[in-house]
Amino acid sequence: MEPNQIEQLRSGAKYGPVVILNAAEHGCHALIMHSSGEIQSIPLSKLSLDFVEFLAEIVQALSGQPTKFNSFVDALHGRGHRHQDRLVGKMVYERSRSPHDYFKALLWTLWETVAEPVVEALGIRISTNPPRLWWCPTGPFAFLPIHAAGIYRPDNIHSIADYVISSYTPTLTALITARENQNTSANMPKVTAVIQPTTPGYGSLPHTKTELQKIAEKIPNEWLTSLNTSETPTSLETILSHLRESSIIHFACHGVQNTVNPLESCLLIGGAQLKVSQLMETSGVSHDTPSTNVQNRGLVFLSACETAMGDTKLPDESMHLAATLLFARFSSVVATLWTMYDPDGPEIAEVFYGHLFRDADPTSTPPRFPDLSNSAHALHMAVMQLRQKVPFARWVPFVHFGV
Protein backbone atom coordinates (compact mmCIF):
# COMPACT_ATOMS: atom_id res chain seq x y z
CA MET A 1 0.00 0.00 0.00
CA GLU A 2 1.31 3.48 -0.93
CA PRO A 3 2.29 5.85 1.94
CA ASN A 4 -0.38 8.39 0.91
CA GLN A 5 -3.04 5.65 0.99
CA ILE A 6 -1.96 4.62 4.49
CA GLU A 7 -2.07 8.25 5.61
CA GLN A 8 -5.56 8.66 4.18
CA LEU A 9 -6.80 5.53 5.95
CA ARG A 10 -5.23 6.74 9.18
CA SER A 11 -7.23 9.96 8.98
CA GLY A 12 -10.45 7.94 9.18
CA ALA A 13 -9.49 6.77 12.68
CA LYS A 14 -8.14 10.14 13.83
CA TYR A 15 -10.68 10.55 16.66
CA GLY A 16 -11.30 6.91 17.51
CA PRO A 17 -10.95 3.39 16.15
CA VAL A 18 -12.91 2.24 13.12
CA VAL A 19 -14.07 -1.38 13.27
CA ILE A 20 -14.77 -3.01 9.91
CA LEU A 21 -16.96 -6.09 10.32
CA ASN A 22 -16.67 -8.74 7.64
CA ALA A 23 -18.54 -12.03 7.20
CA ALA A 24 -17.35 -14.53 4.60
CA GLU A 25 -17.44 -18.26 3.91
CA HIS A 26 -13.98 -18.70 5.39
CA GLY A 27 -14.88 -16.89 8.63
CA CYS A 28 -15.85 -13.62 10.29
CA HIS A 29 -13.41 -10.92 11.38
CA ALA A 30 -13.27 -7.46 12.91
CA LEU A 31 -10.57 -5.30 11.32
CA ILE A 32 -9.71 -2.48 13.71
CA MET A 33 -8.17 0.63 12.17
CA HIS A 34 -6.16 2.64 14.72
CA SER A 35 -5.10 6.29 14.47
CA SER A 36 -1.51 5.07 14.12
CA GLY A 37 -2.46 3.38 10.86
CA GLU A 38 -2.13 -0.06 12.41
CA ILE A 39 -4.76 -2.57 11.31
CA GLN A 40 -5.61 -5.17 13.93
CA SER A 41 -7.44 -8.31 12.80
CA ILE A 42 -9.69 -9.94 15.40
CA PRO A 43 -11.25 -13.30 14.50
CA LEU A 44 -14.91 -13.49 15.52
CA SER A 45 -14.63 -17.20 16.12
CA LYS A 46 -18.18 -17.68 17.45
CA LEU A 47 -19.69 -16.45 14.18
CA SER A 48 -20.10 -17.80 10.66
CA LEU A 49 -21.55 -16.16 7.56
CA ASP A 50 -24.62 -18.37 7.87
CA PHE A 51 -25.13 -17.43 11.52
CA VAL A 52 -24.76 -13.69 10.84
CA GLU A 53 -27.38 -14.02 8.10
CA PHE A 54 -29.63 -15.80 10.60
CA LEU A 55 -29.21 -12.93 13.08
CA ALA A 56 -30.11 -10.48 10.31
CA GLU A 57 -33.26 -12.53 9.69
CA ILE A 58 -34.23 -12.10 13.33
CA VAL A 59 -33.72 -8.33 13.10
CA GLN A 60 -35.89 -8.15 9.99
CA ALA A 61 -38.65 -10.09 11.79
CA LEU A 62 -38.43 -8.02 14.97
CA SER A 63 -38.47 -4.70 13.10
CA GLY A 64 -41.53 -5.54 11.01
CA GLN A 65 -45.21 -5.87 11.78
CA PRO A 66 -46.30 -8.34 14.53
CA THR A 67 -47.66 -10.69 11.86
CA LYS A 68 -44.21 -10.82 10.24
CA PHE A 69 -42.59 -11.69 13.57
CA ASN A 70 -45.20 -14.36 14.32
CA SER A 71 -44.69 -15.93 10.89
CA PHE A 72 -40.94 -15.97 11.48
CA VAL A 73 -41.34 -17.67 14.87
CA ASP A 74 -43.77 -20.23 13.44
CA ALA A 75 -41.32 -21.07 10.66
CA LEU A 76 -38.37 -21.14 13.06
CA HIS A 77 -40.02 -23.52 15.49
CA GLY A 78 -41.43 -25.61 12.70
CA ARG A 79 -38.16 -26.21 10.88
CA GLY A 80 -35.92 -26.41 13.94
CA HIS A 81 -33.28 -24.02 12.59
CA ARG A 82 -29.78 -25.32 13.31
CA HIS A 83 -28.70 -21.93 14.68
CA GLN A 84 -31.58 -21.54 17.12
CA ASP A 85 -29.72 -23.07 20.05
CA ARG A 86 -26.73 -20.79 19.42
CA LEU A 87 -28.70 -17.75 20.53
CA VAL A 88 -27.76 -16.74 24.05
CA GLY A 89 -30.56 -16.83 26.60
CA LYS A 90 -33.19 -19.07 28.11
CA MET A 91 -35.79 -18.22 25.49
CA VAL A 92 -34.42 -20.72 22.95
CA TYR A 93 -35.10 -23.60 25.27
CA GLU A 94 -38.56 -22.41 26.24
CA ARG A 95 -39.33 -21.57 22.60
CA SER A 96 -40.57 -18.18 23.62
CA ARG A 97 -42.76 -16.17 21.28
CA SER A 98 -42.05 -12.85 22.95
CA PRO A 99 -40.32 -10.15 20.85
CA HIS A 100 -38.74 -8.90 24.09
CA ASP A 101 -37.09 -12.27 24.68
CA TYR A 102 -35.86 -12.48 21.10
CA PHE A 103 -34.44 -8.95 21.32
CA LYS A 104 -32.71 -9.80 24.58
CA ALA A 105 -31.24 -12.99 23.11
CA LEU A 106 -30.16 -11.18 19.93
CA LEU A 107 -28.40 -8.33 21.75
CA TRP A 108 -26.77 -10.73 24.22
CA THR A 109 -25.50 -12.80 21.29
CA LEU A 110 -24.13 -9.68 19.57
CA TRP A 111 -22.33 -8.78 22.79
CA GLU A 112 -20.65 -12.17 23.17
CA THR A 113 -19.80 -12.66 19.50
CA VAL A 114 -18.93 -9.14 18.29
CA ALA A 115 -18.85 -6.31 20.82
CA GLU A 116 -17.06 -8.03 23.70
CA PRO A 117 -14.16 -9.35 21.55
CA VAL A 118 -13.66 -5.85 20.09
CA VAL A 119 -13.77 -4.17 23.52
CA GLU A 120 -11.26 -6.67 24.88
CA ALA A 121 -8.94 -6.22 21.90
CA LEU A 122 -8.99 -2.44 22.36
CA GLY A 123 -8.52 -2.68 26.12
CA ILE A 124 -11.41 -0.29 26.76
CA ARG A 125 -12.91 -0.11 30.24
CA ILE A 126 -16.34 0.99 31.44
CA SER A 127 -16.47 4.78 31.69
CA THR A 128 -18.92 7.55 32.54
CA ASN A 129 -17.33 9.47 29.66
CA PRO A 130 -16.86 6.77 27.01
CA PRO A 131 -14.70 7.35 23.91
CA ARG A 132 -15.93 7.32 20.30
CA LEU A 133 -15.89 4.23 18.11
CA TRP A 134 -17.05 3.79 14.51
CA TRP A 135 -18.60 0.58 13.21
CA CYS A 136 -18.24 -0.12 9.49
CA PRO A 137 -20.38 -3.24 8.95
CA THR A 138 -20.31 -5.05 5.62
CA GLY A 139 -22.62 -7.70 4.16
CA PRO A 140 -25.25 -9.01 6.60
CA PHE A 141 -23.51 -7.22 9.49
CA ALA A 142 -25.04 -4.01 8.07
CA PHE A 143 -28.46 -5.07 9.42
CA LEU A 144 -27.36 -5.81 12.99
CA PRO A 145 -27.72 -3.26 15.84
CA ILE A 146 -24.15 -3.63 17.13
CA HIS A 147 -24.48 -0.30 18.97
CA ALA A 148 -27.08 -1.90 21.28
CA ALA A 149 -25.21 -5.16 21.99
CA GLY A 150 -25.33 -6.10 25.64
CA ILE A 151 -26.71 -8.23 28.46
CA TYR A 152 -30.04 -6.82 29.61
CA ARG A 153 -31.20 -8.22 32.93
CA PRO A 154 -33.99 -6.65 35.02
CA ASP A 155 -31.57 -5.71 37.78
CA ASN A 156 -28.43 -5.08 35.73
CA ILE A 157 -27.47 -3.92 32.24
CA HIS A 158 -24.01 -4.49 30.78
CA SER A 159 -23.75 -3.12 27.25
CA ILE A 160 -21.42 -1.68 24.63
CA ALA A 161 -22.80 1.77 25.55
CA ASP A 162 -20.92 1.48 28.87
CA TYR A 163 -17.64 1.34 26.95
CA VAL A 164 -17.98 3.49 23.81
CA ILE A 165 -20.20 5.97 22.01
CA SER A 166 -21.05 4.15 18.79
CA SER A 167 -21.34 5.67 15.35
CA TYR A 168 -21.62 4.00 11.96
CA THR A 169 -20.14 4.64 8.56
CA PRO A 170 -21.09 2.82 5.33
CA THR A 171 -17.46 2.91 4.17
CA LEU A 172 -14.15 4.16 5.51
CA THR A 173 -13.98 6.60 2.60
CA ALA A 174 -17.38 8.06 3.57
CA LEU A 175 -16.09 8.77 7.09
CA ILE A 176 -12.90 10.37 5.75
CA THR A 177 -14.98 12.57 3.43
CA ALA A 178 -17.33 13.50 6.29
CA ARG A 179 -14.32 14.63 8.32
CA GLU A 180 -13.03 16.71 5.43
CA ASN A 181 -16.43 18.39 5.09
CA GLN A 182 -16.97 18.85 8.81
CA ASN A 183 -18.48 22.23 9.59
CA THR A 184 -15.68 24.39 11.02
CA SER A 185 -17.14 27.69 9.88
CA ALA A 186 -17.41 30.59 12.31
CA ASN A 187 -20.59 31.75 10.58
CA MET A 188 -23.86 31.85 12.47
CA PRO A 189 -25.53 28.41 12.36
CA LYS A 190 -28.79 27.98 10.51
CA VAL A 191 -31.14 25.30 11.82
CA THR A 192 -34.11 24.21 9.71
CA ALA A 193 -36.83 21.97 11.15
CA VAL A 194 -39.35 20.40 8.76
CA ILE A 195 -42.42 18.55 10.04
CA GLN A 196 -45.22 16.63 8.34
CA PRO A 197 -48.02 15.80 10.83
CA THR A 198 -50.35 14.34 8.18
CA THR A 199 -49.59 12.53 4.93
CA PRO A 200 -52.33 11.16 2.63
CA GLY A 201 -52.28 7.38 2.66
CA TYR A 202 -50.16 7.16 5.80
CA GLY A 203 -50.84 7.30 9.51
CA SER A 204 -50.85 10.73 11.13
CA LEU A 205 -47.83 11.86 13.15
CA PRO A 206 -49.36 14.27 15.66
CA HIS A 207 -46.30 14.20 17.91
CA THR A 208 -44.21 15.92 15.23
CA LYS A 209 -45.82 19.17 16.41
CA THR A 210 -44.64 18.47 19.95
CA GLU A 211 -41.24 17.53 18.54
CA LEU A 212 -40.97 20.94 16.90
CA GLN A 213 -41.93 22.61 20.19
CA LYS A 214 -39.18 20.71 22.02
CA ILE A 215 -36.65 21.74 19.37
CA ALA A 216 -37.74 25.39 19.62
CA GLU A 217 -37.26 25.26 23.40
CA LYS A 218 -33.61 24.24 23.00
CA ILE A 219 -32.46 26.24 19.97
CA PRO A 220 -32.23 30.07 20.00
CA ASN A 221 -35.04 31.60 17.96
CA GLU A 222 -32.68 33.63 15.75
CA TRP A 223 -31.02 30.43 14.54
CA LEU A 224 -34.18 28.37 13.89
CA THR A 225 -36.42 28.22 10.82
CA SER A 226 -39.53 26.01 10.98
CA LEU A 227 -41.11 24.72 7.76
CA ASN A 228 -44.42 23.05 6.93
CA THR A 229 -46.27 24.22 10.01
CA SER A 230 -49.78 25.64 9.63
CA GLU A 231 -48.14 29.09 9.46
CA THR A 232 -45.34 28.09 7.10
CA PRO A 233 -46.51 25.59 4.45
CA THR A 234 -43.67 24.60 2.18
CA SER A 235 -42.68 23.10 -1.15
CA LEU A 236 -40.03 20.60 -2.15
CA GLU A 237 -38.04 23.36 -3.83
CA THR A 238 -37.99 25.41 -0.62
CA ILE A 239 -36.82 22.42 1.40
CA LEU A 240 -34.02 21.65 -1.05
CA SER A 241 -32.93 25.27 -0.89
CA HIS A 242 -32.74 25.14 2.90
CA LEU A 243 -30.95 21.81 2.71
CA ARG A 244 -28.14 23.50 0.79
CA GLU A 245 -27.89 26.42 3.22
CA SER A 246 -28.45 24.89 6.67
CA SER A 247 -25.78 23.68 9.06
CA ILE A 248 -28.45 21.59 10.85
CA ILE A 249 -31.66 20.28 9.30
CA HIS A 250 -34.26 18.20 11.15
CA PHE A 251 -36.94 16.16 9.37
CA ALA A 252 -39.92 14.83 11.36
CA CYS A 253 -42.02 12.93 8.84
CA HIS A 254 -42.66 9.57 7.19
CA GLY A 255 -39.74 7.86 5.50
CA VAL A 256 -40.03 5.06 2.96
CA GLN A 257 -37.32 2.58 2.00
CA ASN A 258 -37.55 1.31 -1.59
CA THR A 259 -35.80 -2.07 -1.61
CA VAL A 260 -36.28 -2.52 -5.37
CA ASN A 261 -34.66 0.81 -6.27
CA PRO A 262 -32.83 2.42 -3.31
CA LEU A 263 -32.51 5.71 -5.22
CA GLU A 264 -36.30 5.99 -4.96
CA SER A 265 -36.25 5.80 -1.14
CA CYS A 266 -37.69 9.04 0.17
CA LEU A 267 -39.00 11.35 2.85
CA LEU A 268 -42.68 12.32 2.46
CA ILE A 269 -43.00 16.07 2.90
CA GLY A 270 -45.35 18.76 1.66
CA GLY A 271 -47.37 16.37 -0.46
CA ALA A 272 -44.25 15.27 -2.35
CA GLN A 273 -41.42 12.76 -2.16
CA LEU A 274 -37.92 13.94 -1.30
CA LYS A 275 -35.97 11.13 -2.97
CA VAL A 276 -32.44 9.86 -2.52
CA SER A 277 -31.79 10.65 -6.18
CA GLN A 278 -32.83 14.29 -5.64
CA LEU A 279 -30.59 14.60 -2.61
CA MET A 280 -27.66 13.39 -4.67
CA GLU A 281 -28.47 15.67 -7.61
CA THR A 282 -28.75 18.77 -5.44
CA SER A 283 -25.74 17.98 -3.25
CA GLY A 284 -22.06 18.66 -3.60
CA VAL A 285 -21.55 15.18 -4.99
CA SER A 286 -21.56 16.65 -8.49
CA HIS A 287 -18.50 18.75 -7.53
CA ASP A 288 -20.07 21.93 -8.91
CA THR A 289 -21.44 23.17 -5.60
CA PRO A 290 -19.52 26.16 -4.16
CA SER A 291 -17.14 25.14 -1.39
CA THR A 292 -18.69 27.70 0.95
CA ASN A 293 -21.95 25.76 0.79
CA VAL A 294 -20.21 22.44 1.33
CA GLN A 295 -18.54 23.71 4.51
CA ASN A 296 -21.93 24.65 5.96
CA ARG A 297 -23.23 21.10 5.63
CA GLY A 298 -23.15 19.77 9.14
CA LEU A 299 -25.90 17.66 10.68
CA VAL A 300 -29.10 16.06 9.42
CA PHE A 301 -31.55 14.53 11.90
CA LEU A 302 -33.94 12.11 10.17
CA SER A 303 -36.74 11.64 12.70
CA ALA A 304 -38.49 9.30 10.31
CA CYS A 305 -38.88 5.58 9.70
CA GLU A 306 -36.43 3.32 7.89
CA THR A 307 -33.88 6.05 7.11
CA ALA A 308 -30.87 3.78 7.77
CA MET A 309 -32.40 0.52 6.56
CA GLY A 310 -30.60 -0.86 3.54
CA ASP A 311 -31.62 -3.47 0.99
CA THR A 312 -31.21 -7.03 2.25
CA LYS A 313 -30.54 -8.16 -1.33
CA LEU A 314 -27.73 -5.60 -1.73
CA PRO A 315 -26.27 -5.17 1.77
CA ASP A 316 -23.02 -3.62 0.51
CA GLU A 317 -24.60 -0.95 -1.67
CA SER A 318 -25.17 1.54 1.22
CA MET A 319 -27.92 3.49 -0.53
CA HIS A 320 -30.23 4.23 2.38
CA LEU A 321 -31.03 7.85 3.18
CA ALA A 322 -28.47 8.21 5.97
CA ALA A 323 -25.58 6.95 3.85
CA THR A 324 -26.65 9.12 0.93
CA LEU A 325 -26.49 12.25 3.07
CA LEU A 326 -22.93 11.37 4.08
CA PHE A 327 -22.04 10.95 0.42
CA ALA A 328 -23.78 14.29 -0.15
CA ARG A 329 -21.18 15.89 2.14
CA PHE A 330 -23.09 16.22 5.37
CA SER A 331 -20.73 15.32 8.19
CA SER A 332 -23.23 13.73 10.62
CA VAL A 333 -26.61 12.02 10.28
CA VAL A 334 -29.03 10.74 12.92
CA ALA A 335 -31.33 8.08 11.50
CA THR A 336 -33.42 5.00 12.31
CA LEU A 337 -32.92 1.34 11.42
CA TRP A 338 -36.66 0.66 11.30
CA THR A 339 -40.06 2.17 12.10
CA MET A 340 -39.89 4.59 15.00
CA TYR A 341 -42.71 5.25 17.46
CA ASP A 342 -44.17 8.73 16.97
CA PRO A 343 -44.21 9.75 20.68
CA ASP A 344 -40.49 8.96 20.96
CA GLY A 345 -39.56 11.75 18.53
CA PRO A 346 -40.12 14.60 21.02
CA GLU A 347 -38.31 12.69 23.80
CA ILE A 348 -35.21 12.09 21.70
CA ALA A 349 -35.22 15.61 20.22
CA GLU A 350 -35.52 17.31 23.61
CA VAL A 351 -32.49 15.56 25.12
CA PHE A 352 -30.50 15.60 21.89
CA TYR A 353 -30.77 19.34 21.20
CA GLY A 354 -30.62 20.17 24.88
CA HIS A 355 -27.19 18.56 25.03
CA LEU A 356 -25.99 19.86 21.66
CA PHE A 357 -26.94 23.48 22.42
CA ARG A 358 -26.27 23.48 26.16
CA ASP A 359 -23.32 25.91 25.88
CA ALA A 360 -24.51 27.82 22.81
CA ASP A 361 -25.34 31.51 23.21
CA PRO A 362 -26.09 33.87 20.31
CA THR A 363 -25.95 36.93 22.59
CA SER A 364 -22.44 36.44 23.97
CA THR A 365 -19.41 38.23 22.50
CA PRO A 366 -18.38 36.45 20.41
CA PRO A 367 -21.45 34.20 20.01
CA ARG A 368 -20.96 30.62 21.16
CA PHE A 369 -22.04 28.11 18.52
CA PRO A 370 -22.78 24.39 19.04
CA ASP A 371 -20.03 21.88 18.29
CA LEU A 372 -21.66 19.49 15.81
CA SER A 373 -19.02 16.84 16.50
CA ASN A 374 -20.89 16.32 19.79
CA SER A 375 -23.97 15.01 17.94
CA ALA A 376 -23.05 11.36 18.57
CA HIS A 377 -22.69 12.03 22.28
CA ALA A 378 -26.01 13.93 22.27
CA LEU A 379 -27.80 10.98 20.66
CA HIS A 380 -26.06 8.58 23.06
CA MET A 381 -27.49 10.50 26.02
CA ALA A 382 -30.96 10.75 24.48
CA VAL A 383 -31.14 7.03 23.71
CA MET A 384 -29.80 6.05 27.15
CA GLN A 385 -32.62 8.07 28.70
CA LEU A 386 -35.28 6.61 26.38
CA ARG A 387 -33.92 3.11 27.07
CA GLN A 388 -35.11 3.36 30.67
CA LYS A 389 -38.75 3.86 29.63
CA VAL A 390 -39.55 1.83 26.51
CA PRO A 391 -39.04 -1.68 25.04
CA PHE A 392 -36.12 -2.62 22.80
CA ALA A 393 -37.98 -2.04 19.53
CA ARG A 394 -38.39 1.65 20.34
CA TRP A 395 -34.89 2.73 21.43
CA VAL A 396 -32.64 0.37 19.47
CA PRO A 397 -33.38 1.83 15.99
CA PHE A 398 -31.83 5.26 16.66
CA VAL A 399 -28.32 5.41 15.18
CA HIS A 400 -25.61 7.96 14.39
CA PHE A 401 -23.63 8.07 11.15
CA GLY A 402 -20.51 10.07 10.39
CA VAL A 403 -18.39 12.46 12.42
Say if residue 344's pLDDT is above 90. Answer: yes
Banded pLDDT at 93 (limits 50, 70, 90): very low
User: Of 340, 396, 327, which is closest to residue 107 (Cα–Cα)?
Assistant: 396
What mean pLDDT do residues 105-126 have? 96
**Residue 32 CB contacts under 8 Å (≥ 6 apart), including other chains:** 17, 18, 19, 20, 39, 40, 41, 42, 118, 121, 122
Q: How far is CA 402 from CA 124, 161, 166, 296, in A?
A: 21, 17, 10, 15
Say if residue 79's pLDDT is above 60. Answer: no
How many Cα atoms are found within 13 Å in the side-chain-facing hemisphere of 172?
23
What's the pLDDT score for residue 67?
Answer: 66
Say if residue 173's pLDDT is above 90. Answer: no
Residues 210, 292: Cα–Cα separation, whole Å:
33
User: Of 151, 136, 107, 124, which is closest to residue 29 (Cα–Cα)?
Assistant: 136
Percent above pLDDT 70 for the chain: 82
Residues 259, 392: Cα–Cα separation, whole Å:
24
- The string of pLDDT tens digits covering residues 194-221 is 999 988 888 889 999 999 999 999 999 9
- Residue 327 backbone phi and psi in degrees, to 5: -65, -25
- The string of pLDDT tens digits covering residues 135-153 is 999 999 999 999 999 999 9
Give domain limits for the chain: 3-168, 182-402
What's the pLDDT score for residue 294?
Answer: 42
Pick the CATH number of 182-402 from 3.40.50.1460, 3.40.800.20, 3.40.50.620, 3.40.50.300: 3.40.50.1460
How deeply is 329 buried, as exposed, middle or buried, from its count of CB atoms within 10 A (0-12, 13-18, 19+)? buried
Q: How far is CA 170 from CA 63, 175, 327, in A?
A: 20, 8, 10
Top-ranked range on mean pLDDT: pick from 163-172, 278-287, 290-299, 330-339: 163-172
Which range is least confidently modeled, 67-71, 131-135, 139-143, 341-345?
67-71
Bridge partners of 248, per DSSP, are 191, 299
Residues 378, 373: Cα–Cα separation, whole Å:
10
